Amino acid sequence: MQSTPVKRPGMIVHEQEPYNAEPPRAALAEHVITPVETFYGRNHGTIPRLDATSWRLRIDGLVEQPVELSLDELQTRFAHHEVTATLQCAGNRRAGLMAYRDIPGQHPWGAGATSTAVWRGVRLADVLTAAGLAPGATDIAFEAPDIAPEAEPTQAYGGSIPTIKATAPEVLLAWEMNGEPLSTAHGAPVRVVVPGFIGARSVKWVERITAQDRPSQNFFQQGAYRLLPADTDTERIQAGDGVALGPVALNSEILTPDDGEHLAAGPVVVTGYAFAGDDREVVRVDVTADGGATWVQADLEAQPSPWSWRFWHTSLHVPAGPVQITARAWDSTAAVQPEHPATVWNPKGYINNSWPTVTVTVVADNDLRDAESPEGS
Amino acid sequence: MQSTPVKRPGMIVHEQEPYNAEPPRAALAEHVITPVETFYGRNHGTIPRLDATSWRLRIDGLVEQPVELSLDELQTRFAHHEVTATLQCAGNRRAGLMAYRDIPGQHPWGAGATSTAVWRGVRLADVLTAAGLAPGATDIAFEAPDIAPEAEPTQAYGGSIPTIKATAPEVLLAWEMNGEPLSTAHGAPVRVVVPGFIGARSVKWVERITAQDRPSQNFFQQGAYRLLPADTDTERIQAGDGVALGPVALNSEILTPDDGEHLAAGPVVVTGYAFAGDDREVVRVDVTADGGATWVQADLEAQPSPWSWRFWHTSLHVPAGPVQITARAWDSTAAVQPEHPATVWNPKGYINNSWPTVTVTVVADNDLRDAESPEGS
């Protein structure tokens, strides 16, 4: 196992080691299926380079018969399935919370700690059936070999999902991403893909799957990725405090124009994504450029799959000068995103699903020409 | 078929014919399983009194073999199941939207257009299996005999749910409510119970179930119970506009103290309910009595079932004088209710899940004694 140098041009790198990076808004906006080189990377430890030929997956715990599978066995013993799914880091859009109130020691993720890919592999359900789930197996835990120095105590990365989700047809053990073999950075040889759940549960480089009668006791299930009340004394957090995050809350972002962009006069094309986890669907996105006095319903683009985000776009007439553009999405339960970061703020900065905003400046034609051609015309 | 006079003491009656009534907050707060006589009633037509011996249930449409069942056949051919489920009208809490901006012609439902009961019957899934669902049966439609004058054109009440929900184990054809035979007012001899979906889909007095390749074309699926944008021209609504409501959005209410109540000085006990439909769970409720400067986490009571609301309570120190108490709930996706009725407002006044508030007046001890004993002491 050794570190893999990661070089991805055009990414916003929050940390080089462990590697944590997201694409800029404009890059994310280009493709509804995110290219592998643009897909965000969220790691808690050094990226492990595993040898696919010696890699084994162990399935144990509350099962009738523990199973150990090589990659070849995994690929030949079970039917192959494909799912187009959005992964979204629980820390996505944290920067918006930090602007309201600082969150020390956490990456200031922008709009891009989320991406969508076509995943191919076998159903976790089929593998669990082969091992035979025993009664009382309420949770399925995953373990990987990447050591996370931030964990208390230091330990390899892990997490779990409820058995009812683990046995749903959309959950895969995947070795392919967008038609290519999974890259080392994204979990080769095999990763878990849990569509509709926070990205943290889609454990990369998975080596062990344990059926058990409680959630994983791993730090990243019990100590991190939990929603804590805003007034939590962060010096006194105990394992198990707050609520473990799983299904993703309704969320959205504006991808173009970019925050801070200067635009020519005329209609402004606004684009973005919206996503609702698990069995919820995005049904509507509103956009305003006048502080909410009027809202325009955006056009929703086709959703590649029930497990993916939905791109949207609209065109707004915006007066010259600086203007704030704000969006908000509704899901199929008729829920709408909460308005303020203040409502959502929490000590670890997870699940910022308050209304996204960008501030742009619309420049009168002459001014823009002047700006582009400093010599004047 | 004839009208049944309804007499329920202590209910807030919005309309006598068709009968529409909800319990006051205090009555709802008394029992986590709502007594039958306290359970809200929402009707679009005259309550039909059906003869249980001649009643038949027809299952047809995209099925291998249409089936007709008597009550006796329904009760003897299929296994019995019990589900504790909250039903919640899509118009619950509409009064809060109307206070922001009027909604003519709609009942001003308060906190009580929702109740919880123990339902007993057979699984809709088992009955559909007996008929044999044909490929392409994406939706399951229900028809009842109660004629709704408000429908355009006038028609019997109906609606539908996706097949994926209709075949889930929690969906029942029920003839029993809280251990008693279903009353005429609540759908005797048999009603549909769709836990986690808006009450409108739990069709009472069901007589026909049709498997089809599209949602019900009934007025109450295509013309009502749809979420429309706030700026909709209500003179020009077409069937199919907006979004059909199904799974219930996260919501909550304060049940005690009542809005407008005068309270003695000392800690104020605040209680209420919170509910999230479908597979979401209520994980947290916050309460504030100082306009959001500080929030207290309420104690969550045991949830009678995954398909029921959750009662909560807390105790607050409140200064003398008038004070607004506000609550907000979180669900298992880390979603929180939106703050303002303005965000949620829609032309039909559905799904008001903005933060609930009550205004109470805390009276200094002497003042309260004076108020209770007008002669003085």
Tokens found for residue A219: 């730090």
pLDDT of residue A235: 86
Cα(B89)–Cα(A280) distance, rounded to whole angstroms?
A: 20
Q: Which CATH code for domain B251-372?
A: 2.60.40.650
Q: How confident is the model at residue B259 (pLDDT cuts 50, 70, 90)?
A: very high
**Per-residue pLDDT, A315:** 96
Contact A333 B278 (CB under 8 A): yes
Q: Which of B133, B113, B139, B88 is nearest to B22 (CA)?
A: B113
Q: Terminus-to-terminus CA distance in chain A, angstroms?
A: 60
CA A326 to chain centroid: 21
**Whole-number pLDDT of residue B369:** 53
How high is the pLDDT of residue A279?
81
Contacts of B352 in chain A (CB under 8 A): none
The reply to whether A343 touches chain B by the CB within 8 Å rule is yes
Chain B within 8 Å of A24 (Cβ-Cβ)? no
Whether residue B310 lies within 8 A of chain A, CB to CB, comes out as no
Q: Which residues of chain A have pLDDT under 50?
A: 1-5, 374-377
Closest-CA residue of B relative to A244 is B332
Fold of B12-244: Sulfite Oxidase; Chain A, domain 2 (3.90.420)
Q: Is B129 in the A-facing interface, judged by CB distances under 8 Å?
A: no
The single residue listed with the structure tokens 């700006």 is A371
The secondary structure of chain A in percent helix, strand, coil, rounded to multiples of 5, reads: 15, 35, 50
How many angstroms separate the CA atoms of B220 and B234, rounded? Answer: 16
Q: Which two tokens stand for residue B286?
A: 């916050």
Q: Do A333 and B248 touch (CB under 8 A)?
A: yes
Query: CATH 3.90.420.10 in chain B, residues?
Result: 12-244
Please give the Cα distance from A226 to B58 (Å, whole number). Answer: 49
| Chain segment B66-115, per-residue pLDDT in tens | 999 999 999 999 999 999 999 999 999 999 999 999 999 999 999 999 99
- Beta-carbon separation of B295 and A335 below 8 A: no
Give percent helix, percent strand, percent coil of chain B, each to the nearest 5: 15, 35, 50
pLDDT per residue as tens digits for the range A39-79: 999 999 999 999 999 999 999 999 999 999 999 999 999 99
Look up tokens 């009738």; give the residue.
Answer: A64
Calpha distance B108→A319 (Å, rounded): 40
Angle (CA) A209 A212 A218, round 5°: 70
Banded pLDDT at B266 (limits 50, 70, 90): confident
For residue A289, give the nearest of A311, A312, A314, A264 by alpha carbon.
Answer: A314
Confidence bin at B376 (pLDDT 50/70/90) = very low
Interface A-B: count of C-beta contacts within 8 A: 98
Q: Which among B153, B123, B152, B155 has a CA at the least distance from the CA of B140? A: B123
Say if A169 is an interface residue toward chain B (CB within 8 Å): no
Which regions of chain A carry the CATH code 2.60.40.650?
A: 251-372
Token duo for residue A239: 């394992």
pLDDT of residue A199: 98
Q: pTM for the complete prediction?
A: 0.92
- ipTM of this predicted structure: 0.89
Q: What is the pLDDT, as a whole number, of residue A376?
A: 40
Predicted local distance difference test score (pLDDT) of residue B365? 67
How distant is the alpha carbon of residue A179 from its chain centre?
20
- Residue A250 contacts B, CB cutoff 8 Å: yes
At B1 the pLDDT is 40
Q: Which of B250, B279, B340 sits opposite A339 (nearest CB)?
A: B340
Tell me the chain A residues in contact with residue B343 when contact means C-beta distances shorter than 8 Å.
328, 336, 339
pLDDT at residue B377 in the model: 38
pLDDT in tens, B5-59: 455 568 999 999 999 999 999 999 999 999 999 999 999 999 999 999 999 999 9
- Shortest distance between the Cα of A86 and any Cα of chain B, in A, equals 16
Nearest-by-CA chain B residue for A351: B334
